[in-house]
């Protein structure tokens, strides 16, 4: 029996988290295992697990909506930092790449200069349309990069697994 990973990328704008993209929904169990530390050494530790229903001030409306829709079948809610995402991708390209059959990132880091089409509110259904770059949304200077820790701290991926 398999499970899927569900999640969104979020950006912090003036202290509030907003979902701006769904993560890749294709099954890639080797990557899931690397990310969560199930089948391989992963970047996660227990302190990164969280319950978005208990942390409503720190969860985007979209993520709370997804959690409500899935109910208790969605479990192991986790915050994924950009550092952890990068580590999971590096591990996927590492020795496990042959077994996993991939040399590319399963879920690449966000591109600051890519257009964000919308903020997501209700899972897949409700969106606010826009056409701004992530850099513009975050009000970053042209010199800012994904290597800047201050930029990384304002971006995250939230994920959970279904049964």
Per-residue tens of pLDDT for the chain, all 163 residues: 467 788 899 999 999 899 998 888 776 777 777 777 665 555 554 445 556 555 656 788 888 888 888 888 888 788 888 988 888 888 777 654 555 455 566 788 999 999 998 888 765 555 666 789 999 999 999 999 999 999 999 999 988 888 6
C-alpha distances in angstroms, 97 versus 8, 26, 116, 151, 163? 24, 17, 30, 29, 26
**pTM metric for this prediction:** 0.81
User: Contact 3/161 with Cβ under 8 angstroms?
Assistant: yes
Number of Cβ within a 10 Å radius of residue 155: 22
Beta strands 74-80 and 155-162, pairing class:
antiparallel
């Amino acid at each position: 029996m398999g499970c899927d990973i569900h999640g969104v990328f979020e950006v912090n704008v003036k202290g509030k988290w907003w979902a701006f993209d769904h993560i890749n929904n294709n099954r890639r169990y080797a990557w899931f295992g690397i990310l969560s530390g199930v089948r391989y050494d992963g970047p996660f530790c227990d302190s990164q697990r969280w319950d978005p229903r208990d942390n409503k001030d720190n969860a985007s409306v979209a993520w709370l909506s997804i959690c409500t829709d899935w109910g208790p079948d969605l479990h192991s809610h986790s915050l994924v930092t950009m550092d952890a995402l990068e580590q999971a991708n590096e591990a996927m390209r590492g020795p496990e790449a042959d077994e996993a059959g991939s040399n590319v990132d399963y879920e690449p880091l966000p591109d600051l200069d890519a257009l964000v089409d919308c903020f997501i509110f209700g899972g897949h259904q409700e969106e606010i349309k826009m056409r701004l770059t992530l850099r513009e949304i975050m009000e970053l200077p042209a010199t800012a990069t994904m290597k800047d820790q201050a930029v990384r701290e304002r971006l995250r991926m939230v994920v959970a697994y279904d049964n």
